[in-house]
Amino acid sequence: MKLLKAVMIVCLVALIGAVLAPNATAAAWNRKTVVTFSGPVEIPGVHLTGWGVLPAGTYVFKILDSQSDRHIVQIFSKDQKTIYATILAIPNYRLKATDKTVITFTERPAGQPEALRAWFYPGRHWGEEFVYPKARAIELAKASNTPVLYSPAEIPVEVAEPVKVDAPVVAELKRAPIMAVKPTGEDVQLAEVVTPPPAAETEVAAAAPAERESLPGTASPLPLIGLFGLLTLGGAFAVRAVTQRL
């Protein structure tokens, strides 16, 4: 009887682990992060009309798409029902990883909203440095005396509706060229201002979306739970039969 109980407990633990493991993997891939701003924050496009500056409050950051040389980040409302922005970013290096989320800003004159610069996920050396439209990037570079990333592509800054995964603008962000501008207004190569991740890490990041998309978006863990339940009962009866014979 003790052996039977032990087997059932082990099977139950294995079942719980199997059900929860996919959720943990998904969370690690999209790097869901809850961020609270104490003041207004300027963000680059593509954002909803009138939302170029986020009011103080709580927002959710997620990776929508991850490629070897760029990422696409979405900013949601606190309840994740509204997508305020879908922003192009590229991986950039920091010397020391931290166990907490780090958000950096581009310096602005007093009285003006801080401008979002980069987002670093806990435990990672490579974060997301955001790409601004060229005209705005030049202004920010001069104000902060620091190079700012921009794209020369004609990508809309504002949209009337939240951007979905299959929206045309997402495809534009995936192929848009990215450059950097100096405080003097001169263009500079990305290699001079950005340190990309090593090849091994970018290959893993590029493979993650394909693995994620291979699973049905409405898949339910219930069939899996039922299957493991049947296997658990079958194993328990088998052990009981052997125990009786002994």
CB of 149 closer than 8 Å to CB of 129: yes
Question: What is the reported pTM?
Answer: 0.69
Residue with tokens 């943990």: 24
Instruction: Tell me whether residue 96 is in a domain.
Output: yes
Residue with tokens 């705005």: 136
| Lowest-confidence region among 18-22, 143-147, 165-169 | 18-22
Taking 90 as the threshold, does the pLDDT of residue 54 lie above it? yes
Q: How far apart are CA 81 and CA 174, in angstroms?
A: 24
Instruction: Tell me whether residue 16 is in a domain.
Output: no
Q: How far apart are CA 86 and CA 75, in angstroms?
A: 7
Instruction: Tell me whether residue 2 is in a domain.
Output: no
Taking 90 as the threshold, does the pLDDT of residue 51 lie above it? yes
Instruction: Tell me whether residue 1 is in a domain.
Output: no
Residue with tokens 């922003």: 87
User: Can you tell me the mean pLDDT for 179-190?
Assistant: 91
- The answer on 125 and 38 residing in a single domain is yes
Instruction: Tell me whether residue 17 is in a domain.
Output: no
DSSP 101: -
Count: domains in the chain: 2
- The answer on 233 and 185 residing in a single domain is no
Expressed as residue numbers, the domain containing 239 is 220-246
In the chain, the percentage of residues whose pLDDT exceeds 70 is 67
Q: How far apart are CA 157 and CA 47, in angstroms?
A: 6
pLDDT of residue 204: 41
Taking 80 as the threshold, does the pLDDT of residue 90 lie above it? yes
What SS3 state is found at 20?
A: helix
- The answer on 228 and 111 residing in a single domain is no
- The answer on 228 and 123 residing in a single domain is no
- The answer on 153 and 122 residing in a single domain is yes
- The answer on 155 and 80 residing in a single domain is yes
Q: How far apart are CA 48 and CA 175, in angstroms?
A: 21
Q: How far apart are CA 35 and CA 57, in angstroms?
A: 8
